[in-house]
Each structure stands twice: as structure tokens, then as C-alpha cells.
Structure 1
Amino acid sequence: MAGVIKCRAAVAWGANQALALEEIEVAAPEADEVRIRIVATSLCHTDLSFLGMVQAKFPRLLGHEAAGIIESVGEGVEDLKVGDHVLPVYMGECGKCRPCKSQASNLCEKYWPLLRTTMMLHPVDQKSRFSVTKDGRNQPILSFFTSTFSEYTVVKADCCAKISQEVPLDKACLFACGVSTGLGAVWNIAKVHAGSAVAIFGLGTIGLAVADGARSAGASRIIGVDTNPSKFELAKKFGVTDFVNPNDHEAPIQQVLQGLTKGGVDYAFECVGKVDLMAAALESTREVGALLHPRLSFLYVIMRKM
């Protein structure tokens, strides 16, 4: 029977404070939960954004873009077993509620309310599975999404995607958030069509995934927009055909894009998370076009003048 594990973790003790490497205790998985040995985890901008929230409660165990191996399973877990390679994903799906069965949304009625309010994925008791002894006192560490800045984490089995053991885990971790967000925005939400023109604001992980998805969907023109020119050469490998640096133009970027495309792009993806860029992306589309902002916890499409 699984017991408590002591391991290392990078703990956030307060807003805007540097993460501290601590020895923590990770509880055994409860019913319908699994404990995962984290092999690789990357840093998402969402983690940094939360770390800067002065109103948030701490200490917290951040991280949500990771890959690992199942170490133990709780009662009732049937589809996963010890040794399975998995991606812990924060948007869990019970598979039974209306949104889960829908083709238009995956904002599960069981997990989405918890993420929106507590950022924790333990709906039965809302009790963290992590703790640390500090100054002789044991105290809980709040979780954040899947809490992967730790050698071990505990999540609901509904929040795991099983992957092939042949996939390198240090590469697979990107599919737990950034890559899947970009590809999903193109394929599942916008449904980019062949021959279309696409603009991508921000060429980070999500933006590059959007480019790759747009290329595979048959987009004929993929315009990358970024103020860092060093990103452009890499972006070519993901399908970007044109590059625009807003700092090189006196006119607003939306006017530049409208001029390049004779009226605007068919789809604009805002992959930075800034309100002014959302407005610019919307204004860079044709009279009937779509703006997609894949950095939100949920995805949405805004149609122009329809």
C-alpha cells in the first residue's frame, strides 16, 4: 500500500518571491487519484502570472506542463496502472457531464468550477496532498493545477493522458499545455481551412504550435507577429511564411496586416495574453474573420460583423 513520500519541490512561499527548494511530503493517492513521478516539467507563463498575484494564497506548488510515470494508484482507478507514462493535464474530464460529451466545450462540470475558484483538483475534500515542515511545524502546501514543480505529484486520474513509452518525456511535457493549446485552437476551435491567411501574435510555444497546426490545415499564408526578430528563423520551421515586427512600422500593426493581405487575414491568433493585442488581432481580420485567444483557460472565437 502506498504511503507518504518525501521528495524535493520548488515551493512558492509568497507573491513575487523566488521559488525555494524544499523537502516536502506527498500523500498517497486517494480514491480515483494517481501519484506521478515527474520526469520533466517546463515553465508556462501562467505559472509566472499566478506567482505575481498578490491576492493569491500561499505557499503553493506551481507547475502544470509536465510528463511523468505513474508511481501508485488510488482505489477505483482502472484505466491507469503503475509504470504508465502520462501527461498530467489540469483540464480534467469526467466524461459524463454535458460539456464533456459536447463537441464544442470541455469545461467539465466537475473540475472547471474548482480550477476557477481554488486552482485545485481535489473536488471531494479540497485538501492539498502536499505538506512541508518549517520551523518545527508541519503545514499544507496548496496545489496549483497539477503541481508539477515537484519530484512527485498527486492528481485525479481524470486529469491524466496516457502516452506511449517510446516518447521522450522531456519533449512530451510540452504537450501538457502549450503545444496542445496551440494545435487545439487551430484544429478544434477555429477549424482553419485550406488556403486561408493566418496571423499569429506572439511566437512562443503556443504561437509556434498554432503555426504548425495552421500549416497542417493547409493555410496558404501564415504571418508571425513578434517584437523579437531572433524568433523568426525558428518560426519558419513551423510553417510561418511571413514575419512582421511591429517595431519596424509606424502604422498600427492591424493596418500593416490589412495592407499585406489586401483587407485582412481570415484568422488571427493572440498568443501573448494582452488586451491591446487582442484588439489589434481582431482589427487585423477581414470583415468576416475570426480572432482566437488560446491563452485563456477556455477557448473562444469572436466573429466580426456576422
Structure 2
Amino acid sequence: MSSSTTTINRSSQVITCKAAVAWGPGKELVMEEVELSPPQPMEIRIKVVCTSLCRSDVTAWQSQLTPIFPRIFGHEASGIVESVGQGVTEFQEGDHVLTLFTGECMTCRHCLSTQSNMCQVLGLERRGVMHSDQKTRFSIKGEPVYHYCAVSSFSEFTVVHSGCAVKVRSDVPLDKLCLLSCGVAAGLGAAWKVADISKQSTVVIFGLGTVGLSVALGAKLRGASHIIGVDTNSDKFEKARLFGITDLINPTDHEEPIHQVIKRKTNGGADYAFECVGDTGTVTTALLSCCDGWGLTVTLGVPKVEPEVKAHYGLLLSGRTLKGSLIGGWKPKSDIPKLVDMYIRKEIPIDQFITHDLQFADINKAFELMIGGKCLRCVIHMPN
């Protein structure tokens, strides 16, 4: 008697799974059954283990500027590779990974440069489709459901380009590491890589969410002597001190312009200012809060409205600099594993940024908490 074994090639199969779908700007997410295509060449399909809500998810969900719906948001996630597409050699089934909202192809001009992390092939995708063929992998009853940042982690499974994921050690908790795929990495990199904060310097941070407090942590670890946090929500202040903030300002408590308050506290202006709000008016305020000669402003936020920055040319003529920062300037596939190692060595306390753990079914609660200023990061746990 003979027997035979049939091997199922999961990488060629369409699967169905649950996803939290946004049907319109600001509309509550709806748990839907979606079809997810198999990974195409150089793509991987991931079983999402944990994902967290980032402020940019909320901004894009609320935005009326370029609405793309129906859509699956989420980009800050950890998971396990379920299947791999043709040509993928870097990953195999069972690998633990973090998703990356901006990738690294390793071969383009920017990837080969030490001056940039703006990959020309796998850079930030804003149109709701995949990099390779400008199509979606999600659908409902044959109709497309669009991606967010080519990740879409508010789903039990997702498909990403292999250049938009990074392999991590399997002995590190994925519910903590997901924060390194965006928020915490963005703040630390802005402090260390983009600004290169020096010892005994003065720093002012506008916006005390996860990104702003990651900047504060980075400044503290670099030895900054004076770290000022600015936020209109005083409920954040007690938590902020844990990350190294030495002085806290609520602009609503002052009648004079806040940049004048800061200049008085810093003897003429801060060495470094960070805009972590997502407001171009705050970018101008941050520039005004810097000192002449060498004051550096770094902007990290994603604005919902009025994307143009307005500033008098004299601010720049006097020696100030304005720089942008995407995921902290890190080359994501190359650099994020170093942050994972730092977490393992207990050099960066990722756990302190997690204020809530929620189940996938309660994802709308995460939106409520963030909009209400009641959380730093809500980690959303997928069903086993």
C-alpha cells in the first residue's frame, strides 16, 4: 500500500480574514470579512500579532483633503510571516517581523547614500496601493479595499513588500516591539540622528505624545541639561517627567506668545526645537523658539490642514535651520534592529509608552482614547 502527501502552497492562495475597515472620513471602523490576495513577487504575507494606533492613522482617517476609502489603516505592527512570494529569500515562514511604512530597497541612490533614508523605490506610499503594481491586495466581494502606507495592519493578515518589513529576534515580545516600527523609533532618531543633540544643550518639544516623549527620552540619554515640554493638555505632564522633561508649559496658561516664554527660559532660545504636533503653525512657533546662530528645528508631525509652512526669511537668515524627519532618519531595515538590541539591553524603556492593551474587537476605543488625549500608545492584540 502506498501513500502520498499533498503540500499546500499557501503563498498561492487567497485567504479570508477579519479587518477593521474605514468606509469614510471620521466614520467608525467596521469589522469586515475581507479577501486577501497571495503575496506577489518580492512580497510577504504576515499574520499580524500586535498593532498600535499612531497619530498619523487618526490624521489620515479624519482627513478630507485626499480621502481614499474604503481603507484599512494601521502601520505600526509586529507579526509572523505566513507565506512568501516569488523571489523572496530574506524571509521564510515563521519569521518574526516588524512592518515598515517606508521601505529600504538597498540599491537606489538614496539607499546607497549615508545622507538619506528616502528610498526611491519603496518610499512613503500615499495612494492606497502596493508599490509593485499599484493595485490593492484587499477586497470585499470583488471590490477593492485600499491600503494605508502599504501596510494596513488593522487586519488579522496583511501583505507587504519584503523591503517594507524587517526580521527581528523571536525571543523578544512582539507586543512591545511593534512601537519600534514607527513612533518610538521616529522620536529617538529625530533626537539622535537628525538633530544629533549634544550634552548640556537646551531642548524644547511641542507635543507630548509618544513621538514627543521619545524625543525627550533621546535628549535625556544624550545629556541635554534643559528639556522643555509644551502641550495644551496638562494631564500629560506627570507622565512626561518620567521621560526626562524638566520643565512643562501649557500655552493656555500664558497671555504672551509661547515662543517668548521659551526664549526667556532659555536665555535667548533653545538649541533644538521639535514639532511633534502635526501643525504647521507650530513649526513656525518652534523656529521662533530657537536661538540665533545655530538653533535647529526638526518637524515630525503630519498636518491635517494647511500644509504650507510660513516663516519670515529673517529667521533663517539669522542662522536657524529647519529640517524634516521621517522615521527619525533611520534606514529602517538597516537601523531598527539596533533599536531592538537596545531594548533587549534595557537601554530604551519601550514598555513605558504603552498605556493601554486592547483586543482587536475594541479598536474603535483606541481611536477614542487618542482623540481624547487619554493615551500614549494603545497596543491592539489580534486573535490567536
Q: What TM-score range do you get, normalising by the shorter chain?
A: over 0.9
1:89 is aligned to: 100
Q: 2:162 aligns with which of 145, 157, 164?
A: 157
The 3 A distance-change label for structure 1 pair 304 and 237 is farther
* TM-score computed with the length of structure 1 as normaliser: 0.92
| CA offsets 1:167-209 (integer angstroms, 9 cap, x no match) | 2222211111111111111111111111110000011000010
Q: Which moved more, 1:91-100 or 1:230-239?
A: 230-239
Please tell me the residue identity of whatever aligns with 1:59.
P
User: Residues of 2 paired with 1:285 and 1:50: CA distance?
Assistant: 30
Please tell me the residue identity of whatever aligns with 1:292.
V
**Percentage of pairs with the same residue:** 48
CA contact (8 A) 2:104 2:122 kept: yes
2:284 aligned with 1:294: no
CA contact (8 A) 1:290 1:303 kept: no
Indicate the SS of the match to 1:247: helix
User: Residues of 1 paired with 2:220 and 2:266: CA distance?
Assistant: 17
Q: Which moved more, 1:153-162 or 1:228-237?
A: 228-237
User: Residues of 2 paired with 1:155 and 1:293: CA distance?
Assistant: 27
CA contact (8 A) 2:277 2:302 kept: no
* TM-score computed with the length of structure 2 as normaliser: 0.74
CA contact (8 A) 1:291 1:303 kept: no
Larger relative strand fraction: 1
Please tell me the residue identity of whatever aligns with 2:121.
K
1:209 is aligned to: 214
2:173 aligned with 1:171: no
1:124 is aligned to: 132
Please tell me the residue identity of whatever aligns with 2:22.
A
User: Residues of 2 paired with 1:197 and 1:275: CA distance?
Assistant: 22
1:29 is aligned to: 39
2:376 is aligned to: none
How far 1:230 moved relative to its partner?
A: 1.9
Indicate the SS of the match to 2:271: strand
Question: Unaligned 5+ residue runs, structure 1?
Answer: none
2:20 aligned with 1:15: no
2:261 is aligned to: 256
User: Residues of 2 paired with 1:188 and 1:198: CA distance?
Assistant: 15
2:56 is aligned to: 46
RMSD: 1.6
1:227 is aligned to: 232
2:191 aligned with 1:200: no
2:151 aligned with 1:143: no
Higher RCO by CA contacts (8 Å cutoff, separation 6 or greater): 2
User: Residues of 2 paired with 1:303 and 1:296: CA distance?
Assistant: 22
| CA offsets 1:114-141 (integer angstroms, 9 cap, x no match) | 614x243x233111111112xxxx2111
Please tell me the residue identity of whatever aligns with 1:49.
T
2:312 is aligned to: none
Question: Unaligned 5+ residue runs, structure 2?
Answer: 1-8, 304-314, 320-384
Q: Which moved more, 1:144-153 or 1:163-172?
A: 163-172
CA contact (8 A) 2:279 2:301 kept: no
The 3 A distance-change label for structure 1 pair 115 and 304 is farther
Please tell me the residue identity of whatever aligns with 1:110.
V
| CA offsets 1:214-269 (integer angstroms, 9 cap, x no match) | 11112111111112222112111111111111122111110001011111110000
Please tell me the residue identity of whatever aligns with 1:142.
Y
2:287 is aligned to: 282
2:109 aligned with 1:98: yes
User: Residues of 2 paired with 1:104 and 1:260: CA distance?
Assistant: 34
Indicate the SS of the match to 2:146: strand
Indicate the SS of the match to 1:223: strand
CA contact (8 A) 1:186 1:214 kept: yes
